[in-house]
Amino acid sequence: MGQASRIPPISGQRLEQLTALLASLGIDPVASGEPTGAGHLQADATALAPIEEALTHTSAGRGRNHEQLEFLGDAVLRLAAAEFLERRHPSLSVGQRSALRAQLVSDRWLAELADRIELAPLLRLGPVALGDASGRATVLAECCEALVGALYRLGGSSRGGLELVLRWLEPAWERSSAELLADPDRHNWKTALQEWSQGRGLGLPHYRCEEMSRRHGDPLRFRAWVHCGCESPATGVVLCSGEGWGGSRREAEQQAARVALAAIRQPEGWSGER
């Protein structure tokens, strides 16, 4: 009772927000007492309690929060993605499916999905999370994954829950998988550049990164450079190079690798001249 007693009741206004969210996911809420069918959920405070739980971040300091549903959502998300790929892309090899699924369930993808469905205004956050702009994407990804777990639970778990999750995610996965199959290196440019460099006997790409701003949340906080072909651009032939900016070191290096790959793929190629 300790935890449950600290869960504030869902107000009428909040209930309207949650039912509107479900409708935007392609799930039709119905009034309490009405029959439900495929793709429908009861729209009352008791039935939608898992949705409220999924949108309550640990930083809010409430009795229940998103963590347990995030744990469930992680497993459900991977299973749903595997089923989606089996249905839509049966010709892909196991290795190709694994690589594509990794992109479709990544924190980056979840954070982008959360932005598309405008999840941020619905989250219950504490002061620390509210003031941490650099952690925004992580919070969005966590609560979006918890929302997957909540839908699975609301659907009765097992097959019904999985179908609810797929009803929401399949259209988004259709778009993302088409983009990723057209550009396999999308969002994974560092790995692609490393494979290119090592495949030509050039060893690992050389990265250098500098912090250009101390402001958290600044999308241009870090600047990165990458080159392949020698220890230093001043002492040998550089076969490719790139420069990128990002809000984190990883993001800046990814952007630098993307620029380098784009240069490699230009019709005229790189001759080693700077």
CB environment 7-35: b (16+ within 10 A), e (fewer): eeebeeebbebbbebbeebebebbeeeee
- All domains of the chain in start order, with CATH: 4-182 (1.10.1520.10), 189-264 (3.30.160.20)
Task: State the pLDDT at residue 34.
Answer: 40
Which residue is catalytic, options 44, 74, 107, 115?
74
Task: State the pLDDT at residue 81.
Answer: 98
Helices (H) then strands (E): counts for the chain: 10, 5
Task: State the pLDDT at residue 42.
Answer: 59
Q: Quick check: is 145 catalytic?
A: yes
Task: State the pLDDT at residue 43.
Answer: 62
Tens place of pLDDT per residue across the chain (274 aa): 344 445 577 888 999 999 999 999 998 765 434 434 555 555 677 888 999 999 999 998 877 899 999 999 999 999 999 999 999 999 999 988 998 999 999 998 999 999 999 999 999 999 988 888 778 889 999 999 999 999 999 888 788 899 999 999 999 999 999 999 988 777 788 988 998 888 888 889 999 999 998 887 778 899 999 998 765 455 455 678 899 999 889 889 999 999 998 888 775 444 333 3
Rounded to two decimals, the pTM is 0.73
Which residue is catalytic, options 52, 53, 142, 145?
145
Task: State the pLDDT at residue 38.
Answer: 52
CA distance 157 to 144: 18
Give the containing element (helix H, strand E) for 211. Answer: strand 206-211
Q: Residue 49 corresponds to which tokens in the numbers above? A: 């309690």
Q: Quick check: is 67 catalytic?
A: no
